[in-house]
Amino acid sequence: MKGAASADAPSVRTRARWSKPRSPSFAAVAERGPRLVTTTPVLVLPGYGDSGPEHWQSLWQAEDPACRRVIQRDWMLPRLEDWLDTLARHVAECEGPPVLVAHSLACSLVAHWVTRSEGGVKGALLVAPADVDSPAHTPDEVRDFSPVPLVRFPFPSIVVASSDDPFSPLARAALFARSWGSRFVVLERAGHINADAGFGEWSHGKMLLRELTGAS
């Protein structure tokens, strides 16, 4: 689920399960697109292990001052209640309803947050949702986020999934999108849609985010 190694990198065994280096299947993945500039608050929600400096989430955050990363207390031993509390605090601190930009495990975090919140979010971009219900696709460290709530979100959302994501079958991503009431976008052979899969600036993702923020 990580895009690059960090100071808190997991063991070699764990890292191998969560990273799958591969060549991107289309040339546009790493192209530099238009700058991401929005007046809408954007909360960047990395998944298990955080997103490294080459991950598109980190690049977006560095490019747009409206993007703010939600920093969790423990990236390697995620606990649902801790992550929910941190997310709720960041949403409350925003000057207006934010758009949530979640990757991997954080997509489940958003679904759990919906079941306990009273709103206050403008939209959500949910990229490569990990199937935390499946031991065959995700490690035990994320099982605290299972089961994934299959509830309709009270705000617009877009799920972006890959046809060959090692951490979630495409059918599961489709179920999540259908249950959450999300628009469903499928990328062919895009891995886990992270830096290991060749995703840098990811101009297509910026376009989807602009749809949710209302930016021109």
**pLDDT tens column, 112-167:** 999 998 789 999 999 999 999 999 999 999 999 999 999 999 999 999 999 999 99
Alpha-carbon distance of 118 to 9, in angstroms, equals 35
pLDDT tens string 204-214: 999 999 999 99
Domain membership flag for residue 69: yes
Domain count, the chain: 1
CB 96 within 8 A of CB 40: yes
State the pLDDT confidence band at 39, using cuts at 50, 70 and 90.
confident
Whether residue 27 is predicted with pLDDT greater than 50 in this model: the reply is no
Rg of the chain's alpha carbons, rounded to an integer? 15
pLDDT for 36: 65
Domain membership flag for residue 51: yes
The CATH number given to whatever domain includes residue 92 is 3.40.50.1820
Q: Is the pTM of this model over 0.75?
A: yes
If you average pLDDT over residues 68-80, what whole number do you get? 98
Domain membership flag for residue 172: yes
Domain membership flag for residue 142: yes
Q: What is the DSSP string of 22-65?
A: ---SSGGGG---S----SS-EEEE--TT---TTSHHHHHHHH-T
Domain membership flag for residue 32: no
Domain membership flag for residue 216: no
Domain membership flag for residue 21: no
If you average pLDDT over residues 23-40, what whole number do you get? 54
Name the region of 214 (left: φ>0; alpha: ψ -120 to 50; beta: rest). Answer: left
Q: Which domain holds residue 57?
A: 39-199
Mean pLDDT score of the chain, rounded to an integer? Answer: 87
Alpha-carbon distance of 206 to 175, in angstroms, equals 24
The top-scoring range by mean pLDDT among 13-17, 27-31, 192-196 is: 192-196
pLDDT for 206: 96
CA proximity to 142, closest of 129, 152, 125: 129
* Between residues 5 and 134, the one the model is more confident about: 134
Domain membership flag for residue 5: no
